[in-house]
Amino acid sequence: MGLFTSFQLKSRDADTRKRAALSLGVAGKVSAVASLQPLLDDPEWPVRQAAIEALGAVGDASAVPLLIAAVKQADQQRDEGAASALRAAAVEAFGRIGASAVAPLVEALRDKHAKLRESAIAALGAVGGDQALAALAETLKDDRSSVRQAGAAAVARAGGAKAVPALKDALGHKDPTTRKCAAAALGAIDSGESVAALRQALGDREKPVREAAVDALGSLGSAAAIAALVAELPSADRELKGTIAARLKAMTWTPADPAERVVYAALHGRYDEAAAAGSAAVDPLVAALADRDPEARRGAAGALGRLADPRAAGALVALFKDADQSVREAAATAIAGIGLPAADAVLDALKDRTATVRVAAVAALGRLGGGSVAGALLARLSAGSPAQHAGRDLRVVGTRADLDVARQAADAIERLLEHAAAALPPDAVRRCFEVADVILIEPGEAPGQSETVDLDRVREAAHEELRRRESRS
């Protein structure tokens, strides 16, 4: 080191000290390590950053302990932006030093300072190799979530396909953020094992983890990853269907088989082509209902109505909450195409808190035919045998399943009378007024010990509706 450079390192001007440090790094002499060490305690953080960068440029293992100390000291920096810059510079410096930094970095993984552990993790990820991978895999069990999160990305970077077993294990961690990061990390590893692990993560109980798995498979973009996303559509919940659909729609891919062709057609607006596949199109079209474009939602709803498959009823009723009136109308039309098997889903919507949903449900009931819906519900209450007990007309059922059906039918009829009585013909209202209570009598059981579905409220509501009609006539 020249006399002039030595003078610059001690200058009162921070920029001069910074330039001097960087010039020593460019020179790349091992002897510069000792000269740069005092600058790691400089009062100005940009000078410390320059010294760290210079140590990385020198690339000698003797700088590793100094860099570790510099990362620890960064924790004392009040400005988090400055602290992050110092740590990032140290990570890059470790990477430039390479394999000779691995052993001390592995040792640093046991340090009590979490930020040091995170920096050592990032550095080991950059250096790579089997020794680094083995140490990084252990960080996925760290007691601090931020360390585990850093470990997931570093494991993938350091080990590639070799990292899959460790990341797969992390998918079972109790912390959902750790599982999410493990899924995201698997998206950087293009292998059959990573796709299989991500397919497992699609069934995670936490939504962010499932979404991370979808994004990771989309990032891979391989034929196997696309096949995994397509195969998940039938079993996915409504939200996940929409997430998968959005990811697949944004990708460039060529369908590999009939199942993928149906999904591709449904997501790219070729609804008639998709519907031509019959029941196989239901799940892809339901997924298309989550599209941001209202025209796409209308088109998918129309295709589902033409398919008339009851499995789509719930998803179509969910469109009653859509902000676009034309989409709500398309959903009601599609419900009418499905017919009575969609009635239960529509009746559930009658008790929604949102007025527009209830209005749409009433309109859908009108298209289904209020009398037909009431008749179907009353038929459920007609199961079993007529009987009398204590002066009451009853219908006796012999299983708890039959009693549950009757209870659900009674609740649905009550909602129908409350929200859509005007859609019912007089005969249907009279039948509701005359309906008998349902009682469960199991073998060897006396009537007084049995459970009963009491239909007083249904009869009262029907009587009130009949009275209103008489007063208007």
How far apart, in whole angstroms, are the C-alpha atoms of residue 246 and residue 249? 5
Yes or no: say if 239 and 224 are a contact pair by the CB < 8 Å rule.
no
Mean pLDDT estimate for the chain: 89
pLDDT at 41 over 80: yes
Q: How confident is the model at residue 359, as a pLDDT?
A: 85
Q: Is residue 2 located within the same domain as residue 120?
A: yes
pLDDT at 282 over 60: yes
Claim: this prediction has a pTM higher than 0.75: no
Q: How confident is the model at residue 446, as a pLDDT?
A: 60
Q: Is residue 8 located within the same domain as residue 120?
A: yes
pLDDT at 448 over 60: no
Q: Is residue 4 located within the same domain as residue 117?
A: yes
Yes or no: say if 335 and 316 are a contact pair by the CB < 8 Å rule.
yes
Lowest pLDDT segment from 19-28, 290-299, 302-311: 19-28
Average pLDDT over residues 443-455: 72
6 vs 1, more confident: 6
pLDDT at 416 over 90: no
Q: Is residue 284 located within the same domain as residue 391?
A: no
What Rg do the C-alpha atoms of the chain give, in angstroms? 34
Q: Give the pLDDT band (50/70/90) at residue 28.
A: confident
Q: How confident is the model at residue 152, as a pLDDT?
A: 97
pLDDT at 84 over 60: yes
Q: Which domain holds residue 116?
A: 1-127
Q: Give the pLDDT band (50/70/90) at residue 2.
A: low
Average pLDDT over residues 310-336: 93
Q: Is residue 331 located within the same domain as residue 407?
A: no
Give every CB contact of residue 423 below 8 A, 6+ residues apart in sequence: 362, 365, 366, 370
Q: Is residue 362 located within the same domain as residue 397?
A: no
Yes or no: say if 371 and 383 are a contact pair by the CB < 8 Å rule.
no
Q: Give the pLDDT band (50/70/90) at residue 338.
A: very high
Does residue 259 form part of some domain?
yes
Does residue 218 form part of some domain?
no
Q: How confident is the model at residue 444, as a pLDDT?
A: 63
Q: How confident is the model at residue 96, as a pLDDT?
A: 87
- Out of 368, 388, 419, pick the residue that ends a domain: 368
Q: Is residue 326 located within the same domain as residue 354?
A: yes
Give every CB contact of residue 213 below 8 A, 6+ residues apart in sequence: 183, 198, 199, 201, 202, 204
How far apart, in whole angstroms, are the C-alpha atoms of residue 260 and residue 271? 14
Beta bridge partners of 367: none
Beta bridge partners of 452: 439
Q: Is residue 385 located within the same domain as residue 413?
A: yes
Give every CB contact of residue 136 below 8 A, 6+ residues apart in sequence: 121, 124, 125, 151, 154, 155, 158, 159, 166
pLDDT at 447 over 60: no
CA–chain centroid gap for 460, Å, is: 45
Does residue 467 form part of some domain?
yes
- Out of 70, 97, 127, pick the residue that ends a domain: 127
Yes or no: say if 453 and 438 are a contact pair by the CB < 8 Å rule.
yes
pLDDT at 158 over 80: yes
Average pLDDT over residues 392-412: 86
Average pLDDT over residues 78-97: 86
pLDDT at 407 over 70: yes
- pLDDT over 90 for what percent of the chain? 48
Q: How confident is the model at residue 418, as a pLDDT?
A: 86
Q: How confident is the model at residue 284, as a pLDDT?
A: 94
**385-389 and 452-453: which strand pairing?**
unpaired
Give every CB contact of residue 211 below 8 A, 6+ residues apart in sequence: 240, 243
Q: Is residue 109 located within the same domain as residue 7?
A: yes
Q: Is residue 312 located within the same domain as residue 426?
A: no
- The count of domains in the chain is 3
- Out of 338, 368, 398, pick the residue that ends a domain: 368
How far apart, in whole angstroms, are the C-alpha atoms of residue 204 and residue 209? 6
Does residue 231 form part of some domain?
no
Average pLDDT over residues 164-171: 97
Q: Is 40 exposed, middle or buried, given 0-12, 13-18 or 19+ CB atoms closer than 10 A?
A: buried
pLDDT at 114 over 90: no
How far apart, in whole angstroms, are the C-alpha atoms of residue 282 and residue 191? 30
Q: How confident is the model at residue 32, as a pLDDT?
A: 87
Q: Is residue 364 located within the same domain as residue 383?
A: no
For 197-242, write each residue's pLDDT tens digit. Answer: 999 999 999 999 999 999 999 999 999 999 999 999 888 888 899 9
Token look-up 């850093």 returns 150
CATH number at residue 29: 1.25.10.10
Alpha-carbon distances of 109 from 123, 383, 429, 438, rounded to whole Å: 11, 69, 75, 68
Does residue 200 form part of some domain?
no
Does residue 53 form part of some domain?
yes
Lowest pLDDT segment from 245-249, 307-311, 450-454: 450-454
Q: Is residue 298 located within the same domain as residue 361?
A: yes
Does residue 433 form part of some domain?
yes
Does residue 138 form part of some domain?
no
Task: Return the amino acid letter for 432.
Answer: C
pLDDT at 323 over 70: yes
Average pLDDT over residues 169-191: 96
As a three-state string, the secondary structure of the chain is CCHHHHHHHCCCCHHHHHHHHHHHHHHCCCCHHHHHHHHHHCCCHHHHHHHHHHHHHHCCHHHHHHHHHHHHHHCCCCCHHHHHHHHHHHHHHHHHHHHHHHHHHHHHCCCCCHHHHHHHHHHHHHHCCHHHHHHHHHHCCCCCHHHHHHHHHHHHHHHHHHHHHHHHHHCCCCCHHHHHHHHHHHCCCCCHHHHHHHHHHCCCCCHHHHHHHHHHHHHHCCHHHHHHHHHHCCCCCHHHHHHHHHHHHHCCCCCCCHHHHHHHHHHCCCHHHHHCCHHHHHHHHHHHCCCCCHHHHHHHHHHHHHHCCHHHHHHHHHHHHCCCHHHHHHHHHHHHHHCHHHHHHHHHHCCCCCHHHHHHHHHHHHHHCHHHHHHHHHHHHCCCEEEEECCEEEEEECCHHHHHHHHHHHHHHHHHHHHHHHHCCHHHHHHHHHCCEEEECCCCCCHHHCCEECCHHHHHHHHHHHHHHHHHC
